[in-house]
Structures are given as structure tokens and as C-alpha cells.
Structure 1
Amino acid sequence: MAKSIQSLQRAAAVLRLLAGGERRLGLSDIASSLGLAKGTAHGILRTLQEEGFVEQDAASGRYQLGAELLRLGNSYLDVHELRSRALVWTDDLARSSGESVHLGVLHLEGVLIVHHVFRPDDSRQVLEVGAMQPLHSTALGKVLAAYDPVARGEAVRGTREQLTGRTVTDLEQFEAILELTRSRGWATDVEETWEGVAAVAAPIHDRRRMPVGAIALTGAVERLCEDGEIRPELITAVRECARSVSRDVGAGRF
């Protein structure tokens, strides 16, 4: 029988302690509760913090569970299940709008496209399933960063590359965009990632109101926009599609 790895056991004990006791605990509290030397406890906490499983309050120095652990603990839907539940709704959206539809999820430092419905015409199109999109400039990325603290952290810490003349790279301006996205429930990308391309996206939530993905409608600027803004009826259609998928994965009506 293989031996247990002591460092992993101790890390698990730290996480259980933070999950089951007070909201925040200091280093001394954690060390004494688990019978660890302060140096050992600090090393474990530092490693967990680097991985996003633990966060340290800047003012008090106390520790609490981090967003990455909460994201995993809330059991994000399996990508294949999310895709299967979105099939009918995304097909309907593409058919009614006449544009391409993408389903994206957070992956590493970007957005992974897990489903792509072609624009329903005879034009030649490239399947984008498996492609990665940036968090800071795409409609999908902005929605995920606005609602998912892990995605926001990746977008804030990462390099916000200037992809076009319209790309927002300034952190303060980017944070303002995320706040606007949260307040209205959708995000846009009008030539911020690719010249001549526009998109609008809305979040998919599970029964815990946690973001599990996002849906975007994508097409040429001249078709999706009027006077430089996404057409209101397309925004409504994307939001309704995202709500329908959310209800299908267990979210209440909202």
C-alpha cells in the first residue's frame, strides 16, 4: 500500500480548518490548531495562496479560502454536459439572428471555445471549437471576468495585449468595464479583438448562481451594430439564450 504524502495531508487539514471554523484565521491560530510549527504552516499557506486556494487579508494578515478553491468546490459543470444542455438554445439563437454563436468557458488564462454554431448561410467558415480567446478584449472574456473572481484575477494579473486600436489595456478602464458588465448583465466587443468583428455575450449561471460559462453572438460590425453600438434586439436575444441555458443547468428564474 502506497504511503500518504504528509505535505498534502497537512495542506488538506489547513483547508478543512479554514472551511469549518471562523471565516478568517491567523497564522498562529492555524499552526496551533493543527499542531504545526509556524514555519511549516506558513510554507503551506504560502503555497496554497500562490495556487489561489487561500487568500490573505491585507489589513489583518488573516487567511481565508480562496476563489479557486470555491470555484472547484462549487463543482463547475463538466464541459461536455454544459455543451449538451446548450445545443438547442444556441442553434435557435444562430438561426434567429443569422449569426455565429460561441459557447466559452474559463481555461487557464483565457476563454476556451467549447461549442460553435456556424452562421446559417452558405459562406465558408472555420470551426473554432478548441480555440482560445483573450479575457480582456472579447465579449466572452469580459463576461467571465466580471462574474468569476478567478477569471477576473487572470485578466487583471495577465498581459492585456493591444490587439487593435480599440483594445482597452488600462487597468482602471478595464475594471470600469467589468463593473458596467455586472450592472447590465452583458458585455460587448466592437473591433477590440479583431478588426471588422463585433460580439455580444451574456453569462450562464448554475443553481448556486455561479458562472459556468458564457454565450456570445459574433459577426461583422456592419450587421451587428447600428451607430457603433450592438443592436438592442441582438443583446436581448443573447441574454434570453443565456438565461435559458442557465435554467437548463439548474439556475432559478432571473
Structure 2
Amino acid sequence: MPVTEDARSGVKSVEVAGQLLRLLAEAGGPMRLADLSRAAAMPSAKAHRYLVSLSRSGLVEQDPATARYELGPLMLRAGLAALGRSDLLKRAERALEAIVARTGETAAAAVWGTHGPTHVRLVAARHALAASVPPGHVCPLTYSASGLVFCAFDEAERTMPFAEREMSQSRAIGRPGAPADAAALERVLAAVRRRAFATTANEGDTGLAAVSVPVFDAAGGRIRLALTVFSRVGRLNVAPDGPVVALMLEAAASLEAELHGLRS
């Protein structure tokens, strides 16, 4: 029996919902209903009905304080599941295992997620003092090593809305060592770009030290992920000229070579 035009045409409501999800995914942060409906070229009442259903399914969530919409937890889980099946992360996990074997500390790979740099692979160290974070951990952009790498090398249109929100929160709670404004952040990022790595040694609430390096695409212009090794403060040598930084730069270069087809 031949396939009818109706059977091939799909479900229009799913396509409309997909359009709203795409707009949220491409936005630099949470969006107002008015902005979403305008971008989707649909009446606000129609967009709101779709957003209600998407929220009930976990694909979208609404901030009760601002009434703005953002991608929901189910979208994050779906994205992480898709990434987990990618060749990129399979190769990254091998790199993490080698880093842990050399340093004795935990290593993770982060990619850009719906809320910022997100750990999608983690290889934990095997000792009583090993540092760890939960699956799907979102790294602060302005005061974590992974976040600073993304903030330095990713597109500013994507990172800065998150960074500005972080800095306003850091000012409110007096977070030690965190950049308080765009000028202070840019001074930190200039050093990260010059060195091609970021280090942190936070004696505050996390008590973590870390070294993070970017891994770029074949054209060398877009960051694909960040490789990070971290531990409790005092256990990891984060000196810019130290062996851990050299190891991480070597790991990033090796992974880039694999991804670009220069090595088997």
C-alpha cells in the first residue's frame, strides 16, 4: 500500500514544539514568553499552551521568580545520553583514564550544556581523599578551571549571559577570588587564552584545586570540550610550569590529533 502524503507529513504539533525547544537551546539564557513567541512567529497564547505541555513532560522548566523559560531536566538527560554514545566522549574517556593513572587524582570531561559547561564523563581516583562531583555537574564559568576554559575559548554570545549572572551572585555573597565585574574577568581570561589552560586552587567552600585544558575542533577555532583534573587543595601541583599542566596540555594535543584523524 503506498504511503500517503498525510503519513509522510508528520505531526505538526511536534514540529512546533521542536521549534520552541530549538530556540531555547540556542538562546544565551532563559527566555521570556514574549521573546519566545516573537522568535517563533506565533501568538503568545499558543506558545504558552505548548510550553505548559513541554514543562509537564520535563522538556522545559519555568523559573518561578522570573517566569522565564529554560530547557528542562529531561532535555539535559537526553543530551547527555546522546553525547555518551559519541566517538568524541569514548576517546575522551580513554584520555581521562590516562590522566588519572599519571596523577592519581580525578579527571573529567566537560561539554557545553543547557546551563553551561557540564561534566559528561568522570574517572574517579581510587583513594580515600579522592575528589568527585555528581553526574551532570555544571561548572561555574567564572571561578572553576573548566568554566574559565569555556569562558575564554567559547563564543562570548553564549557564555557571557551566564558569566554576568554568576558575577552578580558572587558580589552578593562575597565569593572569595571570583571576578566581580567584566573587566576583572577579562584579565583572567586573557591569561587563560595566552597559556591555553586554566588553573584554580579554591581554599573556600569547595576546597578544590584543578587544571583544565581546551580541546578544539579540526579547524582549531571552536572548543569541543574541556579536560580537567582536580583534587582537594594541596594534593595537586597546579603551578603553570609544573608537570601536571604539561601532562594536561599533552593530553589535549593527543586527543585533538585523534579527533582530527592524525592518529589511529
Using structure 2 for the length normalisation, give the TM-score.
0.61
Q: Could you say which residue in structure 2 is the equivalent of 1:248?
A: 258
Mapped partners of 2:10, 2:206: distance in 1: 56
| Post-superposition offset of 1:151 | 4.2
Alignment of 1:100-249 (within 5 A): 100-123=106-129, 126=132, 128-149=134-155, 150-160=157-167, 161-162=169-170, 164-191=175-202, 194-209=205-220, 210-225=222-237, 229=239, 232-249=242-259
1:86 aligns with 2:98: no
Instruction: Name the aligned partner's letter for residue 108 of structure 1.
Output: T
Taking only the aligned residue pairs, the percentage that are identical comes to 22
CA contact (8 A) 1:225 1:231 kept: no
Instruction: Name the aligned partner's letter for residue 159 of structure 1.
Output: E
Gaps of 5+ in 2: 1-5, 16-34, 41-81
Mapped partners of 1:119, 1:107: distance in 2: 25
Mapped partners of 1:131, 1:142: distance in 2: 15
Give the 3 Å change call, closer, same or farther, for CA 126–216 of structure 1 in structure 2. closer
Q: Could you say which residue in structure 1 is the equivalent of 2:74?
A: none
| Post-superposition offset of 1:142 | 0.7
| Post-superposition offset of 1:99 | 0.8
How many residue pairs get aligned? The number is: 187
Give the 3 Å change call, closer, same or farther, for CA 112–94 of structure 1 in structure 2. same
| Post-superposition offset of 1:85 | 1.2
Query: C-alpha root-mean-square deviation of aligned residues, in Å?
Result: 3.2
Give the 3 Å change call, closer, same or farther, for CA 132–241 of structure 1 in structure 2. same
Secondary structure at the aligned position of 1:158 is classed as helix
> 1:98 pairs with 93, 96, 104, which one?
104
CA contact (8 A) 2:143 2:177 kept: no
Q: Could you say which residue in structure 1 is the equivalent of 2:65?
A: none
Instruction: Name the aligned partner's letter for residue 244 of structure 2.
Output: L
Instruction: Name the aligned partner's letter for residue 152 of structure 1.
Output: T
| Post-superposition offset of 1:152 | 3.0
Give the 3 Å change call, closer, same or farther, for CA 123–157 of structure 1 in structure 2. closer
Give the 3 Å change call, closer, same or farther, for CA 192–245 of structure 1 in structure 2. farther
Instruction: Name the aligned partner's letter for residue 191 of structure 1.
Output: N
| Post-superposition offset of 1:186 | 0.4
| Post-superposition offset of 1:138 | 0.7
Mapped partners of 1:144, 1:195: distance in 2: 20
Give the 3 Å change call, closer, same or farther, for CA 199–222 of structure 1 in structure 2. same
Q: Deviations over 1:136-182 (max 9, x none)?
A: 11110110111110443334443323274122222101011112111
| Post-superposition offset of 1:214 | 0.2
Mapped partners of 1:219, 1:3: distance in 2: 50
Give the 3 Å change call, closer, same or farther, for CA 176–126 of structure 1 in structure 2. closer
Give the 3 Å change call, closer, same or farther, for CA 240–113 of structure 1 in structure 2. same
Mapped partners of 1:237, 1:224: distance in 2: 12
Q: Deviations over 1:165-216 (max 9, x none)?
A: 1222221010111121111100112207744211110001121222111011
Secondary structure at the aligned position of 1:222 is classed as coil
